[in-house]
Every structure is written in structure tokens, then in C-alpha cells.
Amino acid sequence: MRIFALICLFTGINFAAYSQTVSLNAKEIKKLKAWIKQDAAAKNTYAKFEQAGAKYLNEAPNPLDTIRTEGLLKGNPKKIKTWLAFQDMDKMYTLALLYRLTGDQKYLDKSTSFLLAWAKINRPNGNPIDDTNVDKAVEAYDLVKDNLAVKDREVITKWLAETAWAEVNSVRMKPGRATAINNWNAHRLKVVGEIAYAIDNRELIQWTIDNLKSHIDINLYADGTSLDFKERDAMHYHIYDLQPMLKLAIIIDRAKGSNFYSYESPKGASIRKSVEWLLPYMEGKKQHEEYVNTTVQFDRDRAKNNEPGFAAGTMFEPKMALPVVELSVYFDGSQKKLLQELKEVESMQSLTDEIQREKIR
């Protein structure tokens, strides 16, 4: 207990303060249970989710010491190995959510075993394009943190804190580097922010808020476009920039912080304006040929590697923007119709997103 108290003092952890703001809180879990019980479609979605979780009970974790996807072309053995290992993230989250919905200890035990396996082996290197994929691990931890044994919580919290601080101190984010102001920084902020709120580290929370404000001012423009769109000439990267910022804005809002969806920078830029600029393309009213004027060699390399969607002149598909509208509808209910048009199937993620949009406290 004394060791854990020291860890809390060092990292600024206070488990009671923000409760579950990254995942579902107790009231939202109760609401989700009722929805599954009363609604036939939700019940069917949950049944498939539970079936997948039952299979995971018999699977072993596959952690990596180093995550490696950024800058690698499709087919690269290191990238393939990493994406196979990333399947663990969905597994640990599924098991954690099943525990909260059923109270069955076997789901908690298995989710914990996945979390511990990664916490003991994975060593973060401060690359946000790699670390952005640990979302589900953070959400899994957030769901079960109050139910973990102290010794297990120590190990997992230490890993998450190390991941966040590696991002904060990364040489890739030093002033003057492109990766300090483009989509890399958006993902960096999201990684640090979601971990900060999950472990309630006040220093990391304040760092995230301060840097989100500066990122909106530097990366987004008052006309709704973005630095990444202008550099890559691709909606793909405008979306890739907005998605992490929206996810972070939701977490901050759920913690009863400022509304960063509507927040305007000194230059008049905002996440809201950049989402609204994208809307006509999502609705099919406007079209765009992707990557025609990209300034980034990696885009051309992927085109030469025959990776789908990266050939210059490929028409933007509205469904590519689904990750944005799934998040932005949290702040703007008028986008719900567009969400239904773009969404092809219901999933547990759809259900949990809907519960969070109801803003139950």
C-alpha cells in the first residue's frame, strides 16, 4: 500500500476524481444494461459481442516490446506483426466491458491478464502514430481500474504513465519539427489526454489542455481547412487530424471541462469549423480528388505500393469520414441523420457512443 501511495503522489493519481470519463461510468453502464434488455436490436448486437468475448477467454495475450507501424508500407513484416498484436486491444476492452455488464469475474481476470501482459513487456518510444492504437487498452483500464488488485493497478498505471510522458518528452515533438504541428501532434495530444484522465494525472491534464489550444490555433484554419489537408491534399488526413481531437474534446467535456468543439483560437480556428467544412464532402455535395498535390513522399510511396486509396486522383469516399461524424455528433445532434446514412452496421461501439451522447452524469 505504501508503494502505491508513492506512485499516486508521483504521478498525480486520484482515482475518485474523474471516475470513468474515457469509458462508460456507472450510470451509463446501468443505462446500457437496460437498453440491451429492452431493445431487440441492441440485444442482438450484445449477443454477438458476448460471443466474441467468450472466445477471448481461451486466448493468450500477444504483447510487443515495441509498437512499430509508422512510416512502414503495407506488407512490411514489422507492420504485420504489430497489427496482429493490436488485436489484443479490442480483446481486453471487450472483456472489460463484459465484466462491467455481467459482473462475471472471469471477464475481469482475463482482461487484467491482457493489460498486465502489455504493461510488463511494452516499452513506449514516444511515437504518437504508433501509440494512438492503445486507445482500447486505456478504455479497458478505465472500465475496470476500481476493481483491480492494488499490485495489478500499480503495474498498469506505471505503463500508461510512461506512455504519456514518452509522448510529452519525445524528440519528434520539438519546436521546428513538422511532427510537432501536424496530425502527429493531434494523436499525441489524444494519447496523453486519454491516459491523463484515466489515471487522473493533473499535470498531464493541464499539459493536454494547454497544448490542445495551441494545436487548434496552429493546425486548423479559420476557413475550416487544416495544415494536414493543405500539405497532403487529402480529406484522409483532414479526417486523421480531426478524429483524435474530437475524441479528446469528448473526454474533456465528460470531465466537465471546456467545450473544445466550439472553442475558437485567437486566429478564429475551431474543431467545429473544420468539421463543418468537411460536411459537404461527407454528404456527397462536393467531391475531391485525393493526393493530387501532396507534398509528402510517403503518400507517393504508398501509391507505388498499390495501397488502396492512395493513388493520386482517387475520389474521396464519404464513408471514410464516418470516424469524424461518429464523434462530432456528440456535440452536434443535427449530424445524427448523416451518421445513420454513413453507418453500415450496428456494433457495441455504436451503442456505447449513443449512451455517451446522452451525457448521463
What is the per-residue pLDDT for 9?
43
pLDDT at 17: 59
pLDDT at 6: 43
Residue range 339-345: mean pLDDT, rounded: 89
Cα–Cα distance between 346 and 361 in angstroms, integer? Answer: 25
The burial class, CB within 10 Å (0-12 / 13-18 / 19+), for 62 is middle
| Model confidence band, residue 18 (pLDDT cutoffs 50, 70, 90) | low
pLDDT, tens only, 65-111: 999 888 888 999 999 999 999 999 999 999 999 999 999 999 999 99
Q: What is the pLDDT of residue 24?
A: 97
pLDDT at 7 > cutoff 50: no
Work out the average pLDDT over 246-256: 97
346 confidence band (pLDDT: 50, 70, 90): confident
Percent of the chain residues topping a pLDDT of 90: 88
- Among 73-77, 240-244, 298-302, whose mean pLDDT is lowest? 73-77
Mean pLDDT of 116-137: 96
Predicted local distance difference test score (pLDDT) of residue 173? 86
pLDDT tens sequence across 256-287: 999 999 999 999 999 999 999 999 999 999 99
Distance CA 76, CA 222 (A): 39
